[in-house]
Amino acid sequence: MSLAKRIIPCLDVDNGRVVKGVNFVGIRDAGDPVEIAKRYNEQGADEITFLDITATHEGRDTTVHTVEHIAEEVFIPLTVGGGIRTVDDIRTMLNAGADKVGINSAAIFNPDFVKEAAERFGSQCIVVAIDAKQVSAEGEPLRWEIFTHGGRKPTGIDAVEWSEKMVRNGAGEILLTSMDRDGTKNGFNLPLTRAISDAVSVPVIASGGVGNLDHLVDGVIQGGADAVLAASIFHFGEYSVPEAKRYMAERGITVRL
Amino acid sequence: MAKSTVAVIDYGMGNLHSVASALKHVGDDVEVIVTGDADKILAADRVVFPGVGAIRDCMSEIKRLGVGEVVAEAAKTKPLLAICVGMQALMTRSEENNGIDCLDVFAGDVKFFGNPLNDVNGDQLKVPHMGWNQLHQVVEHPLWSDIEQDERFYFVHSYYVHAEDESLVVGTTDYGVKIHTALHRDNIFATQFHPEKSSTAGLKLLGNFLRWDGQS
């Protein structure tokens, strides 16, 4: 008996529609988030992550309604991230039916926000999202830094130290995106994933760069991830969730079939 | 004939939307009421006692609102399902938040998983225990009806229940230690996992609860 490694399809949602960019440019429309979430639930996805990329304030209300609709029909855990900046934002999403919220840049601007959020709502619903890129030159010891603004702005913060600090502040889970891989379909940054997974006591979700099923396997076996997140390989029907699970199971990974 | 009713106890601790939605989904002929009102809870045919977050905050609200008395009273006459922190609140004491006294409906403790926590191969296990793990049915029970042995359910918790009286344990899960993940006595059934988040298996359990007449 053991805990299953999780497969988490990610819906990037803008104004109530699912999209997925390639390095956040060249977005394609993949449809209605409620229908897609239901389909993933039927396929046996272990969780759904909903990343809100809506820029406008009015659009945020649409997001809340979308989360409500998903929570009424999909009975697996739902994480909502994107634009979570205040305790009120968290409460709004949890009340709408989210089980966890992802906090990203707000944690960088105010690390105590994570502490406050964990004390208020419990660590179990606080996911800290970390966008990291390798910054060490070739031949140097590996080093990764946190980036903001869709990977454009370096912060000077070391990714491993940051993840440890976020866990001390009460993060219950880390969503780690290899920003230099996002949208490339070349697979996760495995040394980064392994370094963070070994550094923290909480579960780590690997994200960014999945192009095939071997990448999911590598994220778990080499990267040490507890869960793997992917978007486009699932959205555009290249692979289904059951296919991914069977593939992982054949390679010795415990999954929920 | 009036619809049968199930009251989800609202004591201000977070999202009850999911458990209410899941109950509505499986109970076409059931009215789901989310309420903190003792009279409405006691008038319902069945009661769900959920809970999320830290035990100190939960217990302080439970005590302030007199939820413990309502739970004890309701359990005398009708089926009651406690979920996650709701289950933990029924135990004697929790180690969380430097030690918190709970309702002592079931004798036993709520313990921290420990750090480091290792599996049988010596590999480190992450805490919280988060994700889909196997539920071993220790005995037959109406709430396990139609659910496969060792089926996976969704868990998220950093503290685990250990009941003193093993005869109350109806389900266990291994995660470094053997956790008592389902308890039953008389009208009370308690689960550490979240049936409302456990897809098909979880919905089956909630459906079984809505058909359960308690006691057995």
Tell me the domains of chain A and their CATH numbers.
Answer: 6-250 (3.20.20.70)
Q: How far apart are CA B70 and CA B65, in angstroms?
A: 9
Question: What is the pLDDT at residue A33?
Answer: 87
pLDDT top residue among B189 and A97: B189
Active site amino acids of B? 84, 194, 196
- What is the CA A66 to chain-centroid distance, rounded? 18
- Please report the beta strands in chain A, taking only residues with DSSP state E, as ranges in sequence order: 6-14, 17-22, 25-31, 48-52, 78-81, 100-103, 126-134, 144-148, 153-158, 173-178, 204-207, 227-230
pLDDT greater than 80 at residue B87: yes
Hey, which of A37-46, A90-99, B79-88 has the most confident mean pLDDT?
Answer: B79-88
Which residues on A lie below 8 Å from B21 (Cβ)?
A: 71-73, 75, 97
Which residues on B lie below 8 Å from A71 (Cβ)?
A: 17-18, 21
Please report, in angstroms and rounded to a whole number, the separation of the first and last CA atoms in chain B.
Answer: 26
For B197, the closest of A99, A204, A227 (CB atoms) is A99
How many Cβ contacts (< 8 angstroms) between chains A and B? 110
pLDDT greater than 60 at residue A26: no
> Amino acid identity, residue B198?
S
Taking a contact as any Cβ pair under 8 Å apart, which residues of chain B between 37 and 76 contact chain A?
A: 52-54
Banded model confidence at residue A133, pLDDT cuts 50, 70, 90: very high
Which residues on A lie below 8 Å from B203 (Cβ)?
A: 75
* Contact between A124 and B52 using a beta-carbon 8 Å cutoff: yes
Q: How far apart are CA A51 and CA B213, in angstroms?
A: 42
* Contact between A4 and B52 using a beta-carbon 8 Å cutoff: no
Overall average pLDDT of the A205-224 stretch:
97
Six-digit token pair at A179?
Answer: 């920003």
Overall average pLDDT of the A69-86 stretch:
94
* Contact between B156 and A77 using a beta-carbon 8 Å cutoff: yes
Question: What is the pLDDT at residue A29?
Answer: 45
Q: How far apart are CA A212 and CA A111, in angstroms?
A: 35
Mean pLDDT (chain B) is 94
Find out whether A205 and A173 touch, Cβ atoms under 8 Å: yes
Six-digit token pair at B101?
Answer: 């006294």
Instruction: Give the nearest chain A residue to B201 (CA atoms).
Output: A75
pLDDT top residue among A28 and B178: B178
Q: How far apart are CA B214 and CA A155, in angstroms?
A: 58
What distances in angstroms separate CA B159 from CA A52, B54, B110, B137, one per listed residue? 31, 10, 6, 21
Q: Does residue B172 sit in helix, strand or coil?
A: strand
pLDDT greater than 70 at residue A21: no
pLDDT greater than 70 at residue B147: yes
Instruction: Count CB atoms within 10 A of the CB of residue B123.
Output: 12
Q: Are strands B46-49 and B93-94 parallel, antiparallel or unpaired?
A: unpaired
Place of tokens 């593939």: A247
* Contact between A227 and B154 using a beta-carbon 8 Å cutoff: no
Q: How far apart are CA A71 and CA A47, in angstroms?
A: 12
Question: Which of left, alpha, beta for A29 (phi over 0: left; psi -120 to 50: alpha)?
Answer: beta
Overall average pLDDT of the B145-163 stretch:
97
Handedness of CA A218, A223, A227, A233 (dihedral sign): negative
Tally the C-alpha atoms within 13 A of residue A190's C-alpha that lie toward its C-beta. Answer: 12
What domains can you pick out in chain B, each with its CATH number?
4-211 (3.40.50.880)
Q: Does residue B188 sit in helix, strand or coil?
A: strand
- Structure letter (DSSP) for residue A185: -
Overall average pLDDT of the A111-139 stretch:
93
Q: Which of A14, A131, A182, A218 is catalytic?
A: A131
Tally the C-alpha atoms within 13 A of residue B173's C-alpha that lie toward its C-beta. Answer: 27
Which residues on B lie below 8 Å from A2 (Cβ)?
A: 119, 133-134, 174
Handedness of CA A106, A199, A206, B175 (dihedral sign): negative
Q: Does B34 touch chain A (CB under 8 A)?
A: no
Does the model's ipTM exceed the 0.90 cut?
yes
Q: Where does B4-114 have alpha helices with state H?
A: 17-26, 38-43, 55-64, 67-77, 85-89
Question: What is the pLDDT at residue A156?
Answer: 96
Taking a contact as any Cβ pair under 8 Å apart, which residues of chain B between 90 and 109 contact chain A?
A: none
Which residues on A lie below 8 Å from B52 (Cβ)?
A: 121-122, 124-125
Question: What is the pLDDT at residue B196?
Answer: 96
Q: Does residue B76 sit in helix, strand or coil?
A: helix
> Amino acid identity, residue A220?
V
- What is the CA B201 to chain-centroid distance, rounded? 15
Instruction: Give the nearest chain B residue to A200 (CA atoms).
Output: B126
Question: What is the pLDDT at residue B76?
Answer: 94
